[in-house]
């Protein structure tokens, strides 16, 4: 009796298994027909009057700038997770001239996309000559205890 029930079950399920299995001659569609999407990087949102762009790779360097110009610190953060950059030390010959931000990839512009890395840009006017540190820290504003999650520092030499 058990053997008969097993045979009946196998006979009944066989057509379903065959329908799900790849059929001879079937394959994945060629890459040209597959939906492939590549997303381009988006540059930092900046201003046309910026003469010097300071980026993450400049961390620890000395940057020479001219007096009476605008500079921008263009750094990537994760503000969607609460990690934001803030300026913690500025030489006296720089004056804050605003901030900007935006996505780093076209993927972030797609409907339903959330999170990801973003540009955080800080603008400064160079108001005089001198040399000094420009330092930023990345942290969650509500996490005030302990060291920052990341730091960025350059020495600005204006003349």
d(CA 4, CA 64): 88
Q: Which residues pair with 121 in a beta bridge?
A: 74, 100
CATH of residue 85's domain is 2.60.40.2020
- Tens of pLDDT along 20-46? 444 455 554 454 544 557 889 999 999
* Mean pLDDT over the full length of the chain: 84
DSSP state of 146: S
Query: Is 117 inside a domain boundary?
Result: yes
Is pLDDT of 75 > 80?
yes
Residue 64 included in any domain:
yes
Count of domains forming the chain: 1
Whole-number pLDDT of residue 18: 45
As a whole number of angstroms, the longest Cα–Cα distance in the chain is: 98
φ, ψ (nearest 5 deg) of residue 150: -155, 160
Q: What is the tens place of the pLDDT at every residue in 113-156?
A: 888 889 999 999 999 999 999 999 999 999 989 999 999 999 99
Distance CA 118, CA 89 (A): 22
Residue 34 within a domain? no
Residue 102 lies in a domain: yes
Residues with Cβ < 8 Å from 94, sequence gap 6 or more? 71, 124, 125, 126, 127, 134, 156, 158
Does the pTM of the predicted model rise above 0.85? no
In-domain check, residue 41: no
Among 16-20, 75-79, 115-119, the minimum mean pLDDT is found in: 16-20
pLDDT interval class at 93 (50, 70, 90): very high
CA–CA separation, 102 and 86 (whole Å): 16
The whole domain housing 80 covers: 50-158
Q: 8 in a domain, yes or no?
A: no
């Amino acid at each position: 009796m058990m053997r008969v029930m097993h045979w009946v079950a196998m006979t009944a399920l066989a057509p379903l298994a065959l329908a799900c299995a790849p059929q001879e001659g079937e394959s994945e569609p060629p890459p040209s027909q597959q939906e492939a999407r590549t997303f381009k990087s988006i540059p930092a949102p900046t201003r046309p009057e910026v003469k010097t762009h300071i980026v993450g790779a400049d961390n620890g360097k000395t940057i020479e700038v001219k007096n009476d110009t605008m500079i921008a610190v263009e750094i990537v953060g994760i503000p969607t997770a609460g990690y934001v950059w803030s300026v913690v030390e500025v030489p006296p010959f720089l004056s804050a001239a605003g901030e900007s931000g935006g996505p780093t990839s076209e993927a972030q512009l797609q409907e339903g996309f959330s999170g990801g890395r973003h540009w955080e840009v800080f603008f400064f006017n160079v108001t005089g000559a001198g040399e000094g540190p420009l330092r930023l820290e990345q942290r969650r504003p509500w996490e005030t205890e302990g060291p920052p999650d990341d730091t960025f520092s350059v020495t600005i030499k204006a003349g």
